[in-house]
Amino acid sequence: MFQALKRIVRRHAPALLRERISLWRQRGPLALGQGSHVHRSVQILGRRHVWIGENSGLSERCWLNVNHPLPGGYAITIGDHAFIGRDNFMSSGRSIRIGHYCLTTLGCKFICSTHIADIRNSPIVTTGTTGEDEIRVGDNCFFGVNAMVLGNVEIGHGCVIGAGALVTSDVPPFSLVVGNPARVLKRYSFQRDAWIAVDAMQAGDLDDNPDASTYLARLRSTHPQVDMPWVALAADLGSL
């Protein structure tokens, strides 16, 4: 019996150890909300300055890079019930704020810090990075494949950012944007319960649209809990 137990331990100990390391990496100094998951392949530089809400997920091969830690605060925050897709990249200047209920797909990027390029007598890798810009994303926004947000940008609540879009300026709430550079193609009208082309909008179409706090309160009321598609976090979680 003792020999059988030793064989079981030898067989399963490496997997158990990897699991314990994975749990430590998730819980480490990282502020991780209840029920949230960070895949073991995710790299976070500046873990103490990243906050992730409840029931949220970071998919495989994401990279979160805190360039300028905030004393006593968080440089990158991701809200509750948010799903960050595979191969996403976040590089913070002053801060990056991703709202509650947001969904990003493959290869999305949020970049508000870049290497300082005006010190030409030094290697670029030594010159440091910019730290003035912020990216702020409202609640329940969706980002299509390879969408990118660049610079000092605020995206309002309820927006849809199309695949491959390059967002370099502010986007009003309930907008659908496409293209490079991104442009607002449609706005959602709660009064008409439909997406309306910008050039077809009429006076009053946006009058019933909720503000940010009202919209979040509605989401939390109708969807206090979300069944997240955890299997989509990584290939090693299998197929359906």
As a CATH number, domain 27-116+123-233 is 2.160.10.10
pLDDT the model gives residue 19: 43
The first and second tokens of residue 208, run together, are 């019933």
Q: What is the pTM of this model?
A: 0.87
Q: Which residue has the higher pLDDT, 212 or 3?
A: 212
pLDDT the model gives residue 96: 98
Among 39, 100, 115, 223, the active-site one is: 115
pLDDT the model gives residue 11: 53
Q: Please state whether the peptide bond connecting residue 181 to the residue before it is cis, i.e. omega within 30 degrees of 0.
A: yes
pLDDT the model gives residue 29: 78
Query: Looking at residues 204-217, what average pLDDT do you find?
Result: 97
| pLDDT over 50 (residue 82) | yes
| pLDDT over 80 (residue 22) | no
Residue 152's contacts (CB-CB under 8 Å, 6 or more residues apart) are: 93, 112, 132, 133, 134, 135
Phi, psi of 194 (to 5 degrees): -165, 160
Query: Looking at residues 46-54, what average pLDDT do you find?
Result: 96
Q: For the chain, what is the mean pLDDT? A: 90
pLDDT the model gives residue 8: 43
Q: Which residue has the higher pLDDT, 13 or 108?
A: 108
Q: What percent of the chain has pLDDT over 70?
A: 88
pLDDT the model gives residue 28: 57
How is the chain split among helix, strand and coil, in percent rounded to 5? Answer: 20, 30, 50
Do 158 and 141 contact (CB within 8 A), yes or no? Answer: yes
pLDDT the model gives residue 24: 45
| pLDDT over 50 (residue 21) | no
pLDDT interval class at 158 (50, 70, 90): very high
pLDDT interval class at 7 (50, 70, 90): low
Domain residue extents for the chain: 27-116+123-233
Active site residue 115: yes
Do 188 and 195 contact (CB within 8 A), yes or no? Answer: yes
Query: Looking at residues 2-28, what average pLDDT do you find?
Result: 46
Q: Closest Cα to residue 78, out of 41, 51, 110?
A: 51
pLDDT interval class at 152 (50, 70, 90): very high
Do 66 and 45 contact (CB within 8 A), yes or no? Answer: yes
Considering only 4-18, 59-73, 162-176, which range has the smallest mean pLDDT?
4-18
Query: Looking at residues 110-131, what average pLDDT do you find?
Result: 90
Query: Looking at residues 221-235, what average pLDDT do you find?
Result: 96
Do 78 and 88 contact (CB within 8 A), yes or no? Answer: no
With tokens 């610079």, the residue in question is 151
Query: Looking at residues 85-97, what average pLDDT do you find?
Result: 97
